[in-house]
């Protein structure tokens, strides 16, 4: 938990089931049967998110947990906070005490807005809501969001004194304050104040014991608790009575006014502290009286029946599965009839403030002297209270169990919690007052003697310690012995002695405090063991040294030791130092500082080298720092390059940092009974599951889980006889029990915490609660989305992943980062998704999502594009119509020109030709004049013929292949007069070329220029036939087959060689005109074989 400080709570039985508090009773008659009314935990499971804030308080920078510090006596003396400790009473001999628990405190400087906590609950998203003396707080594991009363804002909280918080089954968040009932509209971030009618019995403004203004119309009422019953009815316990709001009601109404109750003493009617509704409709009230010890338990039946029972000093209440009221942890209330009793002495008072029955059958009770816990089925009650009873942390005002099983305690000194999923690692440093300095020694070796005492060696002179309890403080105490002032390298519990390997000596320390015996060694004695035959083995210079059974350490010379050398030189190379020994069946495993792994055969007394080469050929040569054989017989090696696994069948497998190890140096390896391995490394403590998938195989524990040691030492590990594992490091010992280190199975809730859009006018914030879609304007340039994993177990280890569909192809692994920002999004639809994992990697894949729509600029909208398209279509339509109109006008002009040429010029030329012929027929003319007139007549006729061609060209009625064909026939008849010719392959076209023409007819239309060029090319063909071919037969073919146009002129004349023919004016003109109309010209001729000329244009003839 961010910003937390941790207190270890040692529990002991304080109240047995056979000795309940006198004010409550023990067995008694059972209460009416019926299902359990909604407990605080059940209410939290029905609950939803946040609102009108005043400020935020960060619980930890970037969500990183503050290193937990135990609340203990020594911290109090150094200025720490007070600790929750345990007070006990006698327990039955057969009952095992409840297990040791730890409570942590959310630090004051970064915690809630006030240390006085009145109420704690959890909504359906997973946020924690805390009611305090100074406003309403929302907690997400990282920071507090605070809501306060603002007299200038009518939609702020009605009062800063928040006594109750409830999220009902409809998702509405209700807040009970000293000024009434508020409902938080989390989507609009504003509070709506409920209308509470004045109590009828107090309408005259009298009574009420001075408990506020509720007795006057329009006055305020102090709300002490809010609950929802199984029927869906909301109940409010107040200072003047009981309010209710039915599931179908829109307003609150009074269900009970305390002023109307008959009170035997009539001194004070008290206040309603607690209310519960059973499934059968029975309502139970806990009424606190102003007189000590006179509290009452009221039962309101559905038939209006009221019964009153004694409650002593209790103000807490909950119902069990049978509908029976519990006022403390001892059991259901005895339901003794209420009777007046004398006041309770102040020193004898133990007030029950809150009672919570958990889903697993346990019960938590908050009292004025701490908190009590009774596990399901246990006859023992553990009481946790402050070591200094006057400390405000002993006053537990609210107890709440969230949906993951974390128990939250609201006290008058802050917010505490017990997390059953938190990993229990204990740091064992110097026991105070043995040493004044903090931390612990650099532990180099560990051993447990036959009395169960744990010994520790350290890399300090005379560094021998023992693990002891000193005045409730468990830690390392220096042992005063006659050991030489050398560093301790190895420890071995050897019967009644402790063998201590030093830098240059081996010593035997009697456990009963006798004389210490030592003998000198050539090198540091780093490894020792006794084999099955009782022989003592230790490291020697390039060798193993063995002392036979019965030979005493420290008595006699070096010759008593037999040496087994594995290097030929007597000079010890550094890499030959023995650092670890492990006994195996008939052999010893020998680990050296460098080089290969060796196995010593005890029977044959020979060494066997085992190269550390894996299946891929990689051989490790780094130092072997530790050896361990697991339950399956697999050998594990901690090395300077990581971890190695060895079996005869599979050989070596190496694990390196890229496989998930936090560091390359694995100093120590220990196995647990569950088949898991624990590794002490240079970067924390690691748990290895050999059977897990590669991504889940390794799990590192460091400061966030309370592991103080970061770097451990080789050979400093021990499995204690009770199953605990100890690892020595630079700051003392890390202790753990493998059974207590379990993974958190609860996937965290995922919620959006903020949405910020950056626009032209600056950022604008959007409340994400209930938000399904965000619409961004074209001018918005960026969007930032905040999110959170609502897992309260080590939230700094929570992980997030997000993805914007339409932008991110893969999930973006954000780690503990809780914001995503996107800029320059293109117009379109997107979906932002976020998922999260808890501290142990359990993912909530459903997560949270938000649709995002980015509006396009107006020129990229569909309506603008439609308008542009319509404008283009309209423009093209207008242009087309203008062009058609122009073409029609041109055709009309061509018709007029053709008519004018034919009617005027044609008639004039015809008149000239006729006049010249008539005049030339006179006899009086000389021959020369007749010749001139004849030339005049010929010229006029030629001009008329040319004029007919021009009129034919211009006249749009001749823009068809059919008209062209007729014209070509006429020309052939004129130019080929006297030569046999045929005109074949006429195109099948109709006479019409307008709307009544068929599709082929319309496709066969020709424009004026094309008709002119075709006709001139055709005339040139015929002219050449007449002038050069000397042909007797000519065949002409005009065809429109295939949608194109083909003209072929063939004769049987003299022919010529096309390659040798000069490209005269006529032929060049023909080629030029053919290119202009996009036609292909082909001449096929040879001397004596005639000539065939083909002109062809593909595609439409028009």
Contact (Cβ atoms closer than 8 angstroms) between residue 800 and residue 835: yes
Q: Which two tokens stand for residue 16?
A: 């047995």
Q: Do 946 and 966 belong together in one domain? A: no
Q: Do 866 and 934 belong together in one domain? A: yes
Convert the pLDDT of each residue in 280-311 to its tens digit: 999 999 999 888 788 899 999 988 888 999 99
End-to-end CA distance of the chain: 87
State which residues form the domain around 903.
861-958
Model confidence band, residue 1017 (pLDDT cutoffs 50, 70, 90) = confident
Dist CA 398 CA 389 (whole Å): 18
Higher pLDDT, 702 or 531: 531
Q: From the CB of residue 984, how many other CB atoms can be counted at a distance below 10 Å?
A: 10
User: In the chain, what percentage of residues exceed pLDDT 90?
Assistant: 46
Domain assignment of residue 501, yes or no? no
Q: Do 973 and 918 belong together in one domain? A: no
Contact (Cβ atoms closer than 8 angstroms) between residue 441 and residue 732: yes
- The CATH number assigned to the domain holding 855 equals 2.60.40.10
- The winner for highest mean pLDDT among 27-31, 134-138, 421-425, 587-591 is 134-138
- Hey, is 503 helix, strand or coil? coil
Model confidence band, residue 926 (pLDDT cutoffs 50, 70, 90) = confident
Convert the pLDDT of each residue in 63-76 to its tens digit: 333 333 333 222 23
Has residue 87 got a pLDDT over 60? Answer: no
Q: Do 346 and 209 belong together in one domain? A: yes
811-831 average pLDDT score: 95
Characterize the bridge pairing of strands 843-854 and 773-776.
parallel
Convert the pLDDT of each residue in 884-903 to its tens digit: 888 777 777 766 776 666 66
In this prediction the pTM is: 0.72
Has residue 33 got a pLDDT over 50? Answer: no
Given this model, what pLDDT does residue 651 score?
92
Q: Do 797 and 876 belong together in one domain? A: no
Q: Is 921 exposed, middle or buried (0-12, 13-18, 19+ CB in 10 A)?
A: exposed
Which stretch of 19-23, 233-237, 658-662, 930-934 has the lowest confidence by average pLDDT? 19-23
Q: At what angle do helices 906-920 and 927-954 cross, to 10 degrees?
A: 160
Has residue 212 got a pLDDT over 50? Answer: no
What is the DSSP track for 391-456?
Answer: SGGG-EEEEEE-TTS-EEEEETTEEEEE-TTS--EEEE-BPTTT-SSSS---EEEEEE-TTS-EEE
Q: Which two tokens stand for residue 668?
A: 């120590």
Which helix H or strand E contains 7, and what residues bound it? Answer: strand 4-9
Q: Which residues of 251-277 are buried (b: 16+ CB within 10 A; e: fewer)?
A: ebebbbbbbebebeeeebbbbbbbbbb
Given this model, what pLDDT does residue 1067 score?
79
Dist CA 786 CA 771 (whole Å): 13
Q: From the CB of residue 189, how many other CB atoms can be counted at a distance below 10 Å?
A: 16
Model confidence band, residue 100 (pLDDT cutoffs 50, 70, 90) = low
Domain assignment of residue 74, yes or no? yes
Domain assignment of residue 273, yes or no? yes
Given this model, what pLDDT does residue 171 score?
95
Last residue of a domain, one of 390, 418, 446: 418
| DSSP summary character for residue 344 | P
User: In the chain, what percentage of residues exceed pLDDT 70?
Assistant: 80
Which helix H or strand E contains 131, and what residues bound it? Answer: strand 128-132
Has residue 719 got a pLDDT over 60? Answer: yes
Q: What is the residue-averaged pLDDT of the chain?
A: 81
Residues paired with residue 192 on neighbouring β-strands, in sequence order: 183
Given this model, what pLDDT does residue 286 score?
94
Given this model, what pLDDT does residue 1020 score?
84
Q: Which two tokens stand for residue 463?
A: 């560094």
Convert the pLDDT of each residue in 770-815 to its tens digit: 999 999 999 999 999 999 999 999 898 999 999 999 999 999 999 9
Q: Do 997 and 917 belong together in one domain? A: no
Q: Do 927 and 985 belong together in one domain? A: no
Has residue 575 got a pLDDT over 50? Answer: yes
Dist CA 256 CA 285 (whole Å): 10
Scan for tokens 């308008």, then name that residue.
867
Contact (Cβ atoms closer than 8 angstroms) between residue 580 and residue 604: no
536-554 average pLDDT score: 87
Model confidence band, residue 1099 (pLDDT cutoffs 50, 70, 90) = low
Q: Do 937 and 1067 belong together in one domain? A: no
697-701 average pLDDT score: 91
Last residue of a domain, one of 801, 836, 860: 860
Domain assignment of residue 120, yes or no? yes
Last residue of a domain, one of 393, 418, 443: 418
Higher pLDDT, 122 or 335: 122
Given this model, what pLDDT does residue 1045 score?
85
Characterize the bridge pairing of strands 117-122 and 190-193.
unpaired
Higher pLDDT, 821 or 74: 821
Q: Which residues of 835-854 are buried (b: 16+ CB within 10 A; e: fewer)?
A: bbbbbbeebbeebbebebeb
508-523 average pLDDT score: 90
Contact (Cβ atoms closer than 8 angstroms) between residue 444 and residue 457: yes
Backbone angles phi, psi at 691, to 5 degrees: -95, -5
Domain assignment of residue 433, yes or no? no
Domain assignment of residue 550, yes or no? no
Q: Which residues of 785-808 are buried (b: 16+ CB within 10 A; e: fewer)?
A: bebbbbbbbbbbbbbbbbbbeeee
Which helix H or strand E contains 489, and what residues bound it? Answer: strand 488-494
- The CATH number assigned to the domain holding 980 equals 3.30.565.10
612-617 average pLDDT score: 90
Q: Which two tokens stand for residue 739?
A: 């059974």
Residues 6+ apart with CB under 8 A from 1048: 1035, 1036, 1037, 1039, 1092, 1093, 1094, 1095
1083-1087 average pLDDT score: 88
- Hey, is 862 helix, strand or coil? helix
377-393 average pLDDT score: 68
Domain assignment of residue 681, yes or no? no
Q: How many domains does the chain have?
A: 4
Residues paired with residue 275 on neighbouring β-strands, in sequence order: 285
List C-alpha distances in Å: 593 to 442, 506, 574: 20, 20, 7
Given this model, what pLDDT does residue 161 score?
97
Q: Do 966 and 891 belong together in one domain? A: no
Q: Do 994 and 1101 belong together in one domain? A: yes
| DSSP summary character for residue 816 | T
- The winner for highest mean pLDDT among 258-262, 450-454, 967-971 is 450-454
Given this model, what pLDDT does residue 621 score?
85
930-952 average pLDDT score: 76
Q: Do 944 and 991 belong together in one domain? A: no
Backbone angles phi, psi at 968, to 5 degrees: -65, -35
Model confidence band, residue 595 (pLDDT cutoffs 50, 70, 90) = low
Q: Is 1032 exposed, middle or buried (0-12, 13-18, 19+ CB in 10 A)?
A: exposed
Residues paired with residue 507 on neighbouring β-strands, in sequence order: 500, 518
Domain assignment of residue 545, yes or no? no
Dist CA 657 CA 860 (whole Å): 52
Convert the pLDDT of each residue in 386-427 to its tens digit: 555 556 677 899 999 999 999 999 999 899 999 988 888 899
Q: Do 819 and 867 belong together in one domain? A: no
Given this model, what pLDDT does residue 582 score?
94
Q: Between vectors from CA 397 to CA 75 and to CA 121, what angle results, nearest 5°?
A: 105
Residues 6+ apart with CB under 8 A from 241: 199, 254, 255, 256, 257, 258, 259, 272
Dist CA 410 CA 399 (whole Å): 6
532-554 average pLDDT score: 88
Contact (Cβ atoms closer than 8 angstroms) between residue 161 and residue 178: yes
Convert the pLDDT of each residue in 723-750 to its tens digit: 999 999 999 999 999 988 888 999 999 9
Model confidence band, residue 21 (pLDDT cutoffs 50, 70, 90) = very low
List C-alpha distances in Å: 947 to 452, 904, 973, 1015: 136, 11, 18, 14
Convert the pLDDT of each residue in 157-208 to its tens digit: 999 999 999 999 999 999 999 999 999 999 999 999 998 888 875 544 333 3
Residues 6+ apart with CB under 8 A from 820: 784, 785, 787, 802, 804, 812, 814, 832, 834
| DSSP summary character for residue 169 | T
Model confidence band, residue 18 (pLDDT cutoffs 50, 70, 90) = very low
Which stretch of 52-61, 135-144, 251-260 has the lowest confidence by average pLDDT? 52-61
Has residue 3 got a pLDDT over 70? Answer: no
Given this model, what pLDDT does residue 438 score?
58
């Amino acid at each position: 938990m961010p910003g937390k400080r941790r207190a270890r709570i040692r529990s002991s039985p304080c109240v047995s089931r056979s000795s309940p508090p006198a004010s409550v009773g023990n067995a008694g008659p059972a209460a009416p049967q019926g299902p359990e009314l909604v407990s605080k935990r059940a209410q939290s499971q029905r609950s939803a998110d946040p609102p009108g804030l005043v400020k935020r308080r960060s619980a930890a920078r970037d969500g990183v947990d503050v290193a937990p510090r135990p609340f203990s006596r020594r911290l109090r003396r150094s200025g720490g906070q007070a600790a929750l400790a345990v007070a006990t009473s006698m327990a039955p001999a057969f009952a095992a005490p409840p297990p040791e628990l730890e409570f942590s405190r959310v630090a004051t400087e970064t915690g809630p807005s006030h240390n006085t906590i009145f109420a704690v609950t959890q909504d359906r998203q997973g946020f924690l809501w805390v009611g305090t003396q100074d406003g309403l707080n929302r907690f997400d594991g990282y920071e507090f969001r605070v809501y306060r009363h603002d007299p200038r804002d009518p939609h702020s909280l009605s009062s800063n004194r928040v006594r109750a918080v409830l999220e009902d089954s409809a998702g509405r968040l209700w807040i009970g304050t000293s000024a009434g009932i508020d409902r938080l509209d989390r989507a609009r971030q504003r509070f709506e104040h409920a209308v509470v009618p004045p109590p009828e019995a107090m309408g005259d403004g009298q009574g009420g014991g001075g408990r506020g203004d509720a007795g006057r119309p329009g006055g305020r009422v102090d709300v002490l608790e809010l609950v929802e019953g199984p029927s869906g009815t909301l109940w409010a316990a107040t200072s003047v009575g009981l309010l209710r709001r039915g599931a179908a009601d829109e307003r609150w109404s009074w269900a009970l006014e305390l002023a109307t109750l008959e009170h035997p003493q009539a001194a004070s009617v008290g206040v309603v502290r607690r209310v519960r509704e059973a499934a059968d409709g029975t309502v139970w009230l806990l009424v606190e009286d102003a007189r000590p010890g006179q509290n009452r338990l009221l039962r309101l039946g559905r038939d209006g029946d009221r019964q009153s029972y004694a409650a002593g000093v209790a103000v807490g209440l909950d119902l069990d599965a049978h509908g029976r009221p519990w006022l403390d942890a001892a059991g259901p209330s005895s339901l003794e009839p209420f009777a007046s009793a004398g006041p309770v002495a102040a020193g004898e008072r133990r007030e029950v403030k809150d009672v919570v029955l958990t889903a697993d059958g346990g019960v938590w009770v908050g009292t004025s002297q701490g908190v009590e816990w009774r596990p399901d089925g246990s006859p023992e009650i553990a009481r946790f209270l402050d070591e200094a009873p006057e400390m405000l942390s002993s006053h537990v005002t609210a107890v709440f169990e969230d949906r993951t099983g974390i128990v939250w305690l609201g006290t008058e000194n802050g917010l505490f919690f017990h997390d059953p999923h938190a990993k229990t690692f204990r740091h064992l440093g110097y026991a105070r007052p043995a040493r004044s300095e903090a931390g612990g020694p650099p532990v180099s070796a560990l051993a447990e003697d036959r009395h169960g005492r744990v010994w520790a060696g350290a890399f300090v002179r005379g560094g021998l310690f023992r693990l002891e309890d000193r005045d409730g403080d468990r830690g390392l105490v220096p042992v005063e012995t006659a050991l030489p002032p050398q560093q301790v390298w190895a420890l071995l519990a050897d019967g009644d002695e402790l063998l201590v390997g030093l830098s240059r000596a081996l010593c035997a320390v009697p456990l009963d405090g006798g004389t210490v015996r030592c003998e000198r060694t050539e090198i540091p004695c780093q490894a020792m063991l006794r084999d099955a035959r009782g022989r003592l083995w230790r490291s020697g210079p390039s060798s193993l040294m063995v002392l036979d059974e019965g030979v005493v350490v420290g008595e006699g010379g070096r010759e008593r030791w037999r040496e087994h050398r594995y290097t030929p030189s007597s000079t010890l190379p550094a890499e030959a130092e023995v650092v670890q020994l492990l006994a195996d069946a008939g052999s010893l495993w020998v680990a050296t500082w460098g080089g290969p792994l060796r196995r010593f055969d005890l029977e044959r007394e020979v060494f066997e080298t085992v190269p550390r080469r894996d299946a891929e050929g990689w051989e490790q040569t780094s130092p072997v720092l530790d050896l361990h054989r697991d339950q399956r017989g697999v050998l594990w090696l901690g090395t300077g390059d990581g971890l190695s696994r060895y079996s005869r069948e599979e050989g070596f497998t190496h694990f390196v940092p890229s496989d998930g190890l936090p560091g390359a140096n694995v100093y120590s390896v220990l196995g647990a009974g569950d088949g898991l391995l624990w590794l002490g490394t240079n970067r924390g403590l690691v748990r290895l599951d050999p059977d897990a998938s590669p991504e889940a195989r390794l799990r590192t524990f460091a400061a966030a889980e309370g592991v103080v040691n970061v770097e451990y030492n080789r050979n400093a590990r021990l499995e204690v006889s009770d199953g605990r594992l100890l690892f020595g490091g630079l700051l003392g010992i890390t202790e753990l029990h493998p059974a207590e280190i379990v993974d958190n199975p609860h996937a965290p809730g995922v919620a959006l915490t903020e949405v910020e859009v950056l626009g032209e006018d600056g950022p604008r914030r959007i409340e994400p609660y209930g938000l399904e879609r965000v619409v961004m304007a074209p001018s918005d340039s960026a969007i930032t989305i905040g999110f959170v994993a609502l897992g309260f177990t080590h939230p700094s280890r929570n992980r997030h992943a997000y993805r914007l569909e339409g932008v991110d192809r893969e999930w973006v692994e954000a780690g503990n980062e809780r914001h995503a920002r996107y800029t320059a999004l293109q117009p379109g639809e997107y979906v932002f998704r976020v998922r999260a994992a808890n501290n142990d990697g359990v993912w909530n894949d459903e997560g949270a999502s938000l649709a995002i729509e980015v509006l396009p600029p107006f020129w990229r909208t569909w309506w603008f594009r439609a308008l542009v398209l319509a404008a283009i279509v309209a423009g093209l339509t207008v242009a087309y119509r203008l062009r058609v109109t122009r073409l029609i006008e041109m055709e009309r002009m061509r018709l007029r020109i053709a008519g004018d040429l034919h009617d005027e010029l044609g008639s004039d030329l015809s008149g000239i030709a006729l006049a010249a012929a008539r005049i030339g027929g006179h006899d009086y003319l000389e021959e020369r004049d007749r010749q001139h007139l004849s030339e005049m007549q010929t010229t006029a006729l030629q001009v008329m013929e040319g004029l007919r061609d021009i009129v034919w060209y211009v006249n749009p009625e001749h823009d068809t292949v059919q008209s062209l064909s007729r014209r070509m026939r006429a020309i052939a008849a004129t130019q080929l007069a006297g030569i046999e010719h045929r005109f074949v392959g006429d195109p099948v076209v109709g006479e019409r070329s307008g709307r009544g023409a068929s599709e082929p007819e319309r496709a066969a239309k020709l424009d004026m220029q094309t008709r002119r060029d075709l006709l001139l090319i055709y005339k040139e063909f015929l002219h050449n036939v007449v002038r050069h071919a000397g042909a007797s037969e000519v065949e002409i073919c005009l065809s429109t087959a295939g949608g194109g146009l083909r003209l072929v002129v063939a004769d049987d004349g003299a022919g010529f060689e096309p390659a040798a023919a000069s490209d005269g004016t006529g032929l060049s003109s023909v080629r030029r005109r053919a290119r202009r109309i996009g036609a292909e010209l082909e001449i096929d001729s040879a001397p004596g074989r005639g000539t065939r000329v083909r002109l062809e244009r593909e595609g439409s003839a028009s």
